[in-house]
Amino acid sequence: MKKKILSTIAMLSAVAILSTACGKSETVRLATGGNTGTYYAYGTAVAQVLGGKTGVKFNVQSTGASKANIQLIAAGEVEMAVVQNDVMDYAYNGTDLFEGEKTDDFSSMAALYAEVCQIVADPSAGINSIEDLRGKNVSVGDAGSGVEFNAKQILGAYGITFDDIGKQNLSFSASADALKDDKIDAFFCTAGAPTTAIMDLATSNKISILSIDDEHAQKLIADYPFYTQYPIPAGTYAGVDQDAMTLAVKATFIVSNKLPEETVYNMTKALFENKEAIQSAHAKGAELDPQYAVEGVSVPFHPGAEKYYREIGVIQ
């Protein structure tokens, strides 16, 4: 009888230990962006879905976005972040925004959705192409921002430097207001399309969206592999009745190299297998696609993400 009781106790203890082990959840701190922006809302939506599917507990944090997020991973303060794929390229290679600050403490997990390089112009200023920006007053985004580097690269492909324009460093909303008040002739805006600031501007002012022709687009993609071509269909903005072909960078999940392969594999798998649930929580979830997730990503994938992509055949 005593032997039977001891056996039962041992069995119950084993079950308790197993239950505790299975119930243990890993915590992943996810850096996003400002709490009124797309990164924060999208990250929160994904965290809710993935948390329920993987058992990982997500701690979503509002941050200063791309550059700050990469620095947070390098400092060990977060394990996952949303960033622009051009900014992470700068960090990984120690260029532009990260000149002299090279960091490779992170890996790619998945490109998520397009952030479109939109060049908005006032047609009455005689601007019909990017070449026409020479000598004009142009806002290139906040000083030191990813937008400013996009503008520098795109203009550079056409042989135009910042010295050739009346350069102003304004936010998207301030740029829209300045164009409305005839203080500038055009502005660069890298964001998901349609963008609220441009939509609001188009309701009161005639605008055009400039195209990047194929020759210059291919040159830019060859020089900066984080770019992809992207169409802005006619009708995206009020009064803009012609398609525009431009370039886009991608909002991308990156992860700390310290995260286990199994954890990142499970998160990547759950991300794509629960697209409908994520789309229901945030409209940008509609752009989730495994093939899109691996294109234009110049920083190596985490082994866990790579394992998933190889399984489904989007990486050979």
Distances (CA, A) of 210 to 207, 232, 235, 291: 10, 10, 14, 28
pLDDT digits (tens, 9 = 90+) for 274-302: 999 999 999 999 999 999 999 989 999 99
pLDDT digits (tens, 9 = 90+) for 264-278: 999 999 999 999 999
**Which pLDDT score, from 0 to 100, does residue 293 have?**
97
Q: pLDDT averaged over the chain?
A: 91
Domains 26-113+250-312 and 116-249 share a fold: yes
36 vs 48 pLDDT, higher one:
48
pLDDT digits (tens, 9 = 90+) for 41-66: 999 999 999 999 999 999 999 988 89
**Which pLDDT score, from 0 to 100, does residue 37 have?**
79
Give the whole-angstrom CA distance, residue 73 versus residue 54: 22
pTM score, two decimals? 0.80
Cis before 260? omega within 30: no
pLDDT digits (tens, 9 = 90+) for 110-147: 999 999 999 999 999 999 999 999 999 999 998 878 89
Distances (CA, A) of 36 to 18, 40, 152, 222, 249: 42, 7, 28, 35, 21
Instruction: Give the residue from 208, 207, 211 showing the smallest Cα distance to 230.
Output: 211
Q: Domain-by-domain residue ranges, the chain?
A: 26-113+250-312, 116-249
pLDDT of 198 strictly over 50: yes
pLDDT of 18 strictly over 50: no
**Which pLDDT score, from 0 to 100, does residue 61 have?**
97
CATH superfamily, region 116-249: Periplasmic binding protein-like II (3.40.190.10)
pLDDT digits (tens, 9 = 90+) for 161-174: 999 999 999 988 89
**Which pLDDT score, from 0 to 100, does residue 12 have?**
38
Cβ contacts of residue 11 below 8 Å, gap of 6+?
Answer: none
> What percentage of the chain has pLDDT greater than the value 70?
92
> What six digits make up the tokens of 10?
């041992």
Secondary-structure class of domain 26-113+250-312 per CATH: alpha beta
